[in-house]
Amino acid sequence: MELTANTPQHLRHTNMNAILGVMRRSGAVNGTDLIAATGLARATVIAVCDDLIAAGWVRELPAAKVAVQKGRPARVFEFDARAGVVVGLDFGVAKTTAVVADLRGTILAKTTQILPEFTAPDSRRLASIDSAVRQALADAGAAPESVLVAGIGIAAPIDRSGAIPRGQDFWKHLDIGVPEHLHKTYGWHVLLGNDANLAAMAEHWMGAGADVPDLAVMLAGERIGFGLLESGRLLHGAFGRSGEVGLLELVDGVGTPAGIAALAREMAVEACRSGAPQTLLSESAGTKTAGSKMAAAGPSAEDVFAAAAAGDTVACRILDDIARRMARVIAVVATLMDPEVVVIGGAVAQSAAVLLDPLETELARFMPNPPRVAVSTLGDAIVTLGAVRLALDYVERHALDLLQRS
Protein backbone atom coordinates (compact mmCIF):
# COMPACT_ATOMS: atom_id res chain seq x y z
CA MET A 1 0.00 0.00 0.00
CA GLU A 2 1.49 3.35 -1.01
CA LEU A 3 1.02 6.02 1.63
CA THR A 4 1.56 9.71 1.00
CA ALA A 5 0.87 12.74 3.15
CA ASN A 6 1.69 16.43 3.13
CA THR A 7 2.23 17.05 6.84
CA PRO A 8 3.42 15.01 9.83
CA GLN A 9 -0.09 15.15 11.30
CA HIS A 10 -1.63 13.99 8.03
CA LEU A 11 0.96 11.22 7.81
CA ARG A 12 0.13 10.07 11.33
CA HIS A 13 -3.60 10.00 10.54
CA THR A 14 -2.98 8.14 7.29
CA ASN A 15 -0.88 5.52 9.05
CA MET A 16 -3.41 5.11 11.87
CA ASN A 17 -6.27 4.72 9.40
CA ALA A 18 -4.34 2.14 7.40
CA ILE A 19 -3.46 0.01 10.43
CA LEU A 20 -6.89 0.34 12.01
CA GLY A 21 -8.48 -0.75 8.73
CA VAL A 22 -6.32 -3.88 8.57
CA MET A 23 -7.10 -4.76 12.17
CA ARG A 24 -10.82 -4.22 11.72
CA ARG A 25 -10.87 -6.75 8.88
CA SER A 26 -8.64 -9.27 10.65
CA GLY A 27 -8.33 -11.24 13.83
CA ALA A 28 -5.18 -11.10 15.94
CA VAL A 29 -2.18 -9.71 14.04
CA ASN A 30 1.46 -9.07 14.85
CA GLY A 31 3.85 -6.43 13.62
CA THR A 32 4.99 -8.55 10.69
CA ASP A 33 1.38 -8.98 9.52
CA LEU A 34 0.80 -5.23 9.66
CA ILE A 35 4.06 -4.45 7.85
CA ALA A 36 3.08 -6.82 5.04
CA ALA A 37 -0.42 -5.32 4.78
CA THR A 38 0.56 -1.63 4.90
CA GLY A 39 4.19 -1.39 3.74
CA LEU A 40 5.04 0.67 6.81
CA ALA A 41 8.28 0.37 8.75
CA ARG A 42 8.28 -1.75 11.91
CA ALA A 43 9.00 1.22 14.18
CA THR A 44 6.07 3.11 12.66
CA VAL A 45 3.72 0.12 13.03
CA ILE A 46 4.60 -0.37 16.70
CA ALA A 47 4.29 3.35 17.46
CA VAL A 48 0.88 3.54 15.78
CA CYS A 49 -0.32 0.42 17.61
CA ASP A 50 0.71 1.98 20.91
CA ASP A 51 -1.25 5.13 20.00
CA LEU A 52 -4.32 3.06 19.12
CA ILE A 53 -4.03 1.09 22.36
CA ALA A 54 -3.85 4.32 24.35
CA ALA A 55 -6.94 5.60 22.54
CA GLY A 56 -8.90 2.42 23.27
CA TRP A 57 -9.35 1.16 19.69
CA VAL A 58 -6.86 -1.70 19.92
CA ARG A 59 -5.77 -4.11 22.63
CA GLU A 60 -2.60 -6.11 23.03
CA LEU A 61 -3.13 -9.80 23.68
CA PRO A 62 -1.23 -11.41 26.57
CA ALA A 63 1.85 -13.26 25.36
CA ALA A 64 0.74 -16.39 27.23
CA LYS A 65 -2.24 -16.69 24.87
CA VAL A 66 -0.12 -16.60 21.72
CA ALA A 67 2.08 -19.38 20.37
CA VAL A 68 5.61 -18.01 19.86
CA GLN A 69 8.98 -19.17 18.62
CA LYS A 70 12.19 -19.05 20.68
CA GLY A 71 13.41 -15.66 21.74
CA ARG A 72 11.47 -12.55 22.55
CA PRO A 73 7.73 -13.12 21.94
CA ALA A 74 6.16 -11.03 19.19
CA ARG A 75 3.62 -8.46 20.27
CA VAL A 76 0.12 -9.38 19.06
CA PHE A 77 -2.67 -6.87 18.58
CA GLU A 78 -6.40 -7.06 18.04
CA PHE A 79 -9.07 -4.54 17.13
CA ASP A 80 -11.33 -4.00 20.15
CA ALA A 81 -14.85 -4.47 18.84
CA ARG A 82 -16.20 -3.24 22.18
CA ALA A 83 -14.28 0.04 22.07
CA GLY A 84 -17.77 1.40 21.51
CA VAL A 85 -21.15 0.34 20.13
CA VAL A 86 -23.56 1.55 17.49
CA VAL A 87 -27.34 1.71 17.59
CA GLY A 88 -29.60 0.79 14.66
CA LEU A 89 -33.23 1.89 14.74
CA ASP A 90 -36.16 1.00 12.47
CA PHE A 91 -38.82 3.68 13.02
CA GLY A 92 -42.01 2.42 11.41
CA VAL A 93 -45.71 3.11 11.39
CA ALA A 94 -46.83 0.83 14.22
CA LYS A 95 -43.59 -0.14 15.96
CA THR A 96 -39.95 0.72 16.35
CA THR A 97 -37.09 -1.75 16.69
CA ALA A 98 -33.74 -0.87 18.24
CA VAL A 99 -30.60 -2.98 18.03
CA VAL A 100 -27.18 -2.50 19.62
CA ALA A 101 -24.13 -3.86 17.81
CA ASP A 102 -20.42 -3.92 18.48
CA LEU A 103 -17.92 -2.41 16.04
CA ARG A 104 -17.68 -5.60 13.97
CA GLY A 105 -21.46 -5.60 13.50
CA THR A 106 -22.27 -8.39 15.94
CA ILE A 107 -25.77 -7.81 17.31
CA LEU A 108 -25.68 -7.59 21.09
CA ALA A 109 -29.35 -6.86 21.80
CA LYS A 110 -32.66 -6.16 20.04
CA THR A 111 -35.86 -4.61 21.40
CA THR A 112 -39.20 -3.83 19.71
CA GLN A 113 -41.65 -1.28 21.07
CA ILE A 114 -45.22 -0.69 19.87
CA LEU A 115 -45.74 2.94 18.89
CA PRO A 116 -48.77 5.12 19.61
CA GLU A 117 -50.92 5.95 16.60
CA PHE A 118 -50.03 8.84 14.27
CA THR A 119 -52.59 11.07 15.98
CA ALA A 120 -50.81 10.77 19.35
CA PRO A 121 -48.59 13.67 20.41
CA ASP A 122 -45.04 13.47 19.06
CA SER A 123 -43.75 13.40 22.63
CA ARG A 124 -45.47 10.05 23.26
CA ARG A 125 -44.01 8.52 20.11
CA LEU A 126 -40.55 9.83 20.96
CA ALA A 127 -40.91 8.38 24.46
CA SER A 128 -41.66 4.95 22.95
CA ILE A 129 -38.53 5.20 20.80
CA ASP A 130 -36.55 6.17 23.92
CA SER A 131 -37.93 3.13 25.72
CA ALA A 132 -36.80 0.77 22.94
CA VAL A 133 -33.34 2.32 22.80
CA ARG A 134 -32.80 2.24 26.56
CA GLN A 135 -33.98 -1.36 26.84
CA ALA A 136 -31.69 -2.49 24.01
CA LEU A 137 -28.72 -0.74 25.62
CA ALA A 138 -29.52 -2.31 28.98
CA ASP A 139 -29.85 -5.77 27.42
CA ALA A 140 -26.50 -5.27 25.66
CA GLY A 141 -24.81 -4.13 28.86
CA ALA A 142 -23.83 -0.90 27.12
CA ALA A 143 -23.95 2.60 28.57
CA PRO A 144 -25.47 5.39 26.44
CA GLU A 145 -22.10 7.17 26.41
CA SER A 146 -20.50 4.14 24.71
CA VAL A 147 -22.61 4.72 21.57
CA LEU A 148 -20.45 6.22 18.83
CA VAL A 149 -23.16 6.63 16.17
CA ALA A 150 -26.86 5.83 15.76
CA GLY A 151 -28.49 5.00 12.42
CA ILE A 152 -32.23 5.31 11.82
CA GLY A 153 -34.35 3.87 9.02
CA ILE A 154 -37.72 5.38 8.12
CA ALA A 155 -40.23 4.82 5.31
CA ALA A 156 -39.60 8.16 3.62
CA PRO A 157 -36.98 9.66 1.29
CA ILE A 158 -34.02 11.40 2.91
CA ASP A 159 -32.41 14.26 0.99
CA ARG A 160 -28.69 15.02 0.94
CA SER A 161 -28.95 17.26 3.98
CA GLY A 162 -30.49 14.42 5.99
CA ALA A 163 -33.99 15.92 5.95
CA ILE A 164 -37.33 14.40 4.94
CA PRO A 165 -38.62 16.24 1.85
CA ARG A 166 -42.19 17.47 1.65
CA GLY A 167 -44.61 15.89 -0.77
CA GLN A 168 -46.69 13.22 0.97
CA ASP A 169 -48.77 13.40 4.13
CA PHE A 170 -47.46 9.98 5.15
CA TRP A 171 -43.89 11.28 5.23
CA LYS A 172 -44.95 14.14 7.51
CA HIS A 173 -46.13 11.65 10.14
CA LEU A 174 -42.59 10.28 10.32
CA ASP A 175 -40.93 13.68 10.48
CA ILE A 176 -41.15 14.13 14.27
CA GLY A 177 -37.55 15.05 14.98
CA VAL A 178 -36.17 11.65 15.99
CA PRO A 179 -32.51 12.47 15.11
CA GLU A 180 -32.69 15.79 16.94
CA HIS A 181 -34.29 14.15 19.96
CA LEU A 182 -31.64 11.42 20.22
CA HIS A 183 -28.83 13.93 19.78
CA LYS A 184 -30.26 16.23 22.42
CA THR A 185 -30.98 13.41 24.87
CA TYR A 186 -27.76 11.39 24.46
CA GLY A 187 -25.33 13.58 22.55
CA TRP A 188 -25.00 10.99 19.78
CA HIS A 189 -24.18 11.62 16.15
CA VAL A 190 -27.35 10.41 14.39
CA LEU A 191 -27.77 9.40 10.73
CA LEU A 192 -31.13 9.11 8.97
CA GLY A 193 -31.71 6.72 6.07
CA ASN A 194 -34.56 5.56 3.86
CA ASP A 195 -35.73 2.09 4.91
CA ALA A 196 -35.40 0.52 1.43
CA ASN A 197 -31.92 1.97 0.99
CA LEU A 198 -30.89 0.55 4.36
CA ALA A 199 -32.41 -2.80 3.39
CA ALA A 200 -30.20 -2.78 0.29
CA MET A 201 -27.16 -2.01 2.44
CA ALA A 202 -28.03 -4.91 4.76
CA GLU A 203 -28.50 -7.37 1.88
CA HIS A 204 -25.24 -6.27 0.25
CA TRP A 205 -23.48 -6.70 3.60
CA MET A 206 -24.76 -10.07 4.80
CA GLY A 207 -27.87 -11.18 2.91
CA ALA A 208 -28.93 -12.84 -0.32
CA GLY A 209 -27.27 -10.01 -2.25
CA ALA A 210 -23.95 -10.20 -0.40
CA ASP A 211 -21.19 -8.72 -2.57
CA VAL A 212 -23.50 -8.39 -5.60
CA PRO A 213 -22.48 -5.05 -7.16
CA ASP A 214 -25.70 -4.42 -9.12
CA LEU A 215 -28.52 -5.12 -6.72
CA ALA A 216 -32.14 -4.14 -6.20
CA VAL A 217 -33.89 -4.82 -2.90
CA MET A 218 -37.68 -4.56 -2.92
CA LEU A 219 -39.39 -3.93 0.39
CA ALA A 220 -42.80 -5.32 -0.44
CA GLY A 221 -44.78 -5.75 2.77
CA GLU A 222 -47.34 -2.96 2.98
CA ARG A 223 -46.00 -0.64 0.28
CA ILE A 224 -43.41 -1.25 -2.43
CA GLY A 225 -40.11 0.60 -2.34
CA PHE A 226 -36.69 -0.20 -3.77
CA GLY A 227 -33.15 0.25 -2.58
CA LEU A 228 -30.78 0.25 -5.56
CA LEU A 229 -27.04 -0.39 -5.83
CA GLU A 230 -25.11 0.17 -9.03
CA SER A 231 -21.49 -1.08 -9.10
CA GLY A 232 -21.71 -1.35 -5.32
CA ARG A 233 -22.77 2.27 -4.91
CA LEU A 234 -26.12 3.14 -3.35
CA LEU A 235 -28.25 5.27 -5.66
CA HIS A 236 -29.70 8.26 -3.85
CA GLY A 237 -31.05 10.91 -6.20
CA ALA A 238 -31.34 14.67 -5.82
CA PHE A 239 -33.99 14.42 -3.11
CA GLY A 240 -33.44 10.85 -1.93
CA ARG A 241 -36.23 9.49 -4.11
CA SER A 242 -34.32 6.86 -6.09
CA GLY A 243 -36.29 3.64 -5.75
CA GLU A 244 -39.56 5.38 -4.89
CA VAL A 245 -42.27 3.80 -7.07
CA GLY A 246 -45.33 5.75 -6.01
CA LEU A 247 -46.61 6.06 -9.59
CA LEU A 248 -47.23 2.35 -10.11
CA GLU A 249 -50.87 3.16 -10.78
CA LEU A 250 -49.62 4.09 -14.26
CA VAL A 251 -48.30 0.57 -14.87
CA ASP A 252 -50.76 -1.73 -16.63
CA GLY A 253 -51.57 -4.77 -14.50
CA VAL A 254 -50.24 -3.18 -11.30
CA GLY A 255 -52.27 -0.07 -10.57
CA THR A 256 -51.11 0.51 -6.99
CA PRO A 257 -47.90 0.68 -4.92
CA ALA A 258 -49.47 -1.70 -2.37
CA GLY A 259 -47.14 -4.47 -1.27
CA ILE A 260 -47.57 -8.22 -1.01
CA ALA A 261 -49.09 -8.25 2.49
CA ALA A 262 -51.57 -5.47 1.68
CA LEU A 263 -52.60 -7.09 -1.59
CA ALA A 264 -53.03 -10.51 0.03
CA ARG A 265 -55.39 -9.05 2.64
CA GLU A 266 -57.40 -7.03 0.11
CA MET A 267 -57.79 -9.94 -2.29
CA ALA A 268 -58.69 -12.33 0.53
CA VAL A 269 -61.46 -10.03 1.77
CA GLU A 270 -62.86 -9.86 -1.75
CA ALA A 271 -62.62 -13.66 -2.07
CA CYS A 272 -64.70 -14.10 1.09
CA ARG A 273 -67.63 -12.01 -0.03
CA SER A 274 -71.05 -13.65 -0.14
CA GLY A 275 -71.49 -15.86 -3.17
CA ALA A 276 -67.76 -16.29 -3.79
CA PRO A 277 -66.26 -19.76 -4.28
CA GLN A 278 -65.68 -21.80 -1.13
CA THR A 279 -62.30 -21.19 0.47
CA LEU A 280 -60.41 -21.88 3.69
CA LEU A 281 -59.99 -18.12 3.97
CA SER A 282 -63.62 -17.80 5.06
CA GLU A 283 -62.64 -19.27 8.42
CA SER A 284 -60.50 -16.18 9.06
CA ALA A 285 -63.12 -13.68 7.93
CA GLY A 286 -64.90 -13.37 11.25
CA THR A 287 -64.16 -11.17 14.22
CA LYS A 288 -61.13 -10.83 16.43
CA THR A 289 -60.77 -9.41 19.89
CA ALA A 290 -58.91 -6.11 20.18
CA GLY A 291 -58.57 -5.37 23.89
CA SER A 292 -62.06 -5.65 25.33
CA LYS A 293 -63.75 -4.93 21.99
CA MET A 294 -64.67 -7.17 19.11
CA ALA A 295 -63.51 -5.85 15.77
CA ALA A 296 -64.24 -6.99 12.24
CA ALA A 297 -61.19 -8.71 10.80
CA GLY A 298 -60.56 -10.34 7.46
CA PRO A 299 -57.88 -12.89 6.61
CA SER A 300 -54.29 -11.79 7.14
CA ALA A 301 -51.48 -12.23 4.65
CA GLU A 302 -50.27 -15.13 6.78
CA ASP A 303 -53.72 -16.74 6.45
CA VAL A 304 -53.47 -16.51 2.66
CA PHE A 305 -50.03 -18.13 2.54
CA ALA A 306 -51.15 -20.86 4.95
CA ALA A 307 -54.31 -21.62 2.97
CA ALA A 308 -52.29 -21.81 -0.26
CA ALA A 309 -49.85 -24.22 1.40
CA ALA A 310 -52.87 -26.36 2.32
CA GLY A 311 -53.90 -26.47 -1.34
CA ASP A 312 -56.74 -23.95 -1.21
CA THR A 313 -57.55 -23.03 -4.83
CA VAL A 314 -58.67 -19.47 -4.07
CA ALA A 315 -55.58 -18.69 -1.98
CA CYS A 316 -53.31 -20.16 -4.66
CA ARG A 317 -54.97 -17.95 -7.27
CA ILE A 318 -54.44 -14.88 -5.06
CA LEU A 319 -50.74 -15.61 -4.72
CA ASP A 320 -50.45 -16.25 -8.45
CA ASP A 321 -52.08 -12.87 -9.16
CA ILE A 322 -49.71 -11.17 -6.71
CA ALA A 323 -46.69 -12.87 -8.31
CA ARG A 324 -47.76 -11.59 -11.74
CA ARG A 325 -48.08 -8.05 -10.37
CA MET A 326 -44.69 -8.20 -8.70
CA ALA A 327 -43.14 -9.46 -11.95
CA ARG A 328 -44.41 -6.33 -13.73
CA VAL A 329 -43.04 -4.09 -10.98
CA ILE A 330 -39.65 -5.79 -11.10
CA ALA A 331 -39.60 -5.65 -14.90
CA VAL A 332 -40.09 -1.87 -14.85
CA VAL A 333 -37.29 -1.30 -12.35
CA ALA A 334 -34.99 -3.89 -13.94
CA THR A 335 -35.41 -2.33 -17.38
CA LEU A 336 -34.25 1.03 -16.01
CA MET A 337 -31.55 -0.17 -13.62
CA ASP A 338 -30.45 -3.62 -14.93
CA PRO A 339 -29.65 -5.35 -11.62
CA GLU A 340 -28.03 -8.76 -11.46
CA VAL A 341 -30.21 -9.79 -8.51
CA VAL A 342 -33.52 -8.54 -7.10
CA VAL A 343 -34.15 -9.45 -3.46
CA ILE A 344 -37.66 -9.43 -2.00
CA GLY A 345 -37.39 -8.25 1.60
CA GLY A 346 -39.53 -7.17 4.51
CA ALA A 347 -42.00 -8.87 6.78
CA VAL A 348 -43.38 -11.16 4.03
CA ALA A 349 -40.03 -12.33 2.68
CA GLN A 350 -40.00 -15.64 4.52
CA SER A 351 -43.33 -16.62 2.96
CA ALA A 352 -42.60 -15.09 -0.44
CA ALA A 353 -40.49 -18.01 -1.70
CA VAL A 354 -43.71 -19.60 -2.99
CA LEU A 355 -44.07 -16.63 -5.39
CA LEU A 356 -40.71 -17.13 -7.08
CA ASP A 357 -41.63 -19.69 -9.76
CA PRO A 358 -44.68 -17.87 -11.18
CA LEU A 359 -42.91 -14.53 -10.76
CA GLU A 360 -39.85 -15.62 -12.71
CA THR A 361 -41.99 -17.23 -15.41
CA GLU A 362 -43.92 -14.00 -15.86
CA LEU A 363 -40.77 -11.87 -15.68
CA ALA A 364 -39.21 -13.82 -18.55
CA ARG A 365 -42.15 -12.74 -20.74
CA PHE A 366 -41.33 -9.06 -20.26
CA MET A 367 -37.59 -8.89 -20.82
CA PRO A 368 -34.65 -10.91 -22.13
CA ASN A 369 -32.09 -12.07 -19.56
CA PRO A 370 -34.18 -11.08 -16.53
CA PRO A 371 -32.44 -10.64 -13.16
CA ARG A 372 -32.32 -13.47 -10.69
CA VAL A 373 -34.97 -13.03 -7.98
CA ALA A 374 -34.32 -14.15 -4.40
CA VAL A 375 -36.03 -13.74 -1.07
CA SER A 376 -34.25 -12.16 1.87
CA THR A 377 -33.05 -14.32 4.73
CA LEU A 378 -32.81 -11.32 7.09
CA GLY A 379 -36.51 -11.27 8.06
CA ASP A 380 -37.92 -8.23 9.82
CA ALA A 381 -34.41 -7.24 10.97
CA ILE A 382 -33.45 -6.11 7.48
CA VAL A 383 -33.87 -2.35 8.07
CA THR A 384 -32.26 -2.34 11.52
CA LEU A 385 -29.28 -4.25 10.14
CA GLY A 386 -29.00 -1.64 7.39
CA ALA A 387 -29.12 1.09 10.03
CA VAL A 388 -26.26 -0.69 11.85
CA ARG A 389 -24.29 -0.83 8.59
CA LEU A 390 -24.93 2.89 8.03
CA ALA A 391 -23.56 3.65 11.50
CA LEU A 392 -20.56 1.33 11.09
CA ASP A 393 -19.65 2.92 7.75
CA TYR A 394 -19.57 6.30 9.46
CA VAL A 395 -17.39 4.94 12.29
CA GLU A 396 -14.96 3.47 9.76
CA ARG A 397 -14.72 6.72 7.78
CA HIS A 398 -14.38 8.95 10.85
CA ALA A 399 -12.64 6.67 13.33
CA LEU A 400 -9.91 9.14 14.18
CA ASP A 401 -12.34 12.00 14.68
CA LEU A 402 -14.35 9.83 17.04
CA LEU A 403 -11.10 8.80 18.73
CA GLN A 404 -10.18 12.43 19.37
CA ARG A 405 -13.56 13.21 20.89
CA SER A 406 -13.53 10.18 23.20
Domain CATH for 26: 1.10.10.10
Summarised one tens digit per residue, pLDDT across range 68-120 is 455 567 899 999 999 999 999 999 888 999 999 999 999 999 999 998 887 78
Of the candidates 56, 110, 82, 87, the one whose C-alpha atom is nearest the C-alpha of residue 188 is: 87
Domain boundary among 25, 45, 79: 79
Instruction: For residues 229 and 244, state if they share a domain.
Output: yes
CB 105 within 8 A of CB 396: no
| Domain ranges, residue 291 | 215-377
* Segment 130-138 mean pLDDT: 97
Pick the residue with more confidence: 3 or 131? 131
Write the DSSP string, 149-178. EEEEEESS---TTSPPPSS-HHHHHH-S-H
Pick the residue with more confidence: 168 or 380? 380
Which stretch of DSSP H or E encloses residue 288? strand 287-290
- Domain membership of residue 234 (yes or no) is yes
- Domain membership of residue 2 (yes or no) is no
Please give the model's pTM, rounded to 2 decimal places: 0.88
**pLDDT tier at 1, thresholds 50, 70, 90:** very low
Instruction: Give pLDDT, residue 288.
Output: 45
CB 299 within 8 A of CB 211: no
Report the number of distinct structural domains present in the chain.
Answer: 3
- Domain membership of residue 3 (yes or no) is no
Judge whether residue 366 has pLDDT over 90. yes
Of the candidates 338, 313, 364, the one whose C-alpha atom is nearest the C-alpha of residue 215 is: 338
- What is the distance between the alpha carbons of residues 193 and 160, in angstroms, rounded to a whole number? 10
* Segment 361-378 mean pLDDT: 95
**pLDDT tier at 290, thresholds 50, 70, 90:** very low
- Domain membership of residue 277 (yes or no) is yes
Instruction: For residues 201 and 69, state if they share a domain.
Output: no
Summarised one tens digit per residue, pLDDT across range 193-248 is 999 999 999 999 999 999 899 999 999 988 999 999 999 999 999 889 899 887 88
| 206, amino acid identity | M
- Domain membership of residue 1 (yes or no) is no
Nearest 5°: the CA angle 220, 222, 227 is: 40
Domain boundary among 79, 107, 134: 79
Write the DSSP string, 173-215. HH-S-HHHHHHHHH--EEEEEEHHHHHHHHHHHHSTTTT-SSE
Instruction: For residues 258 and 336, state if they share a domain.
Output: yes
Sheet holding 233-234, edge to edge: 233-234, 225-230, 215-219, 341-345, 372-375
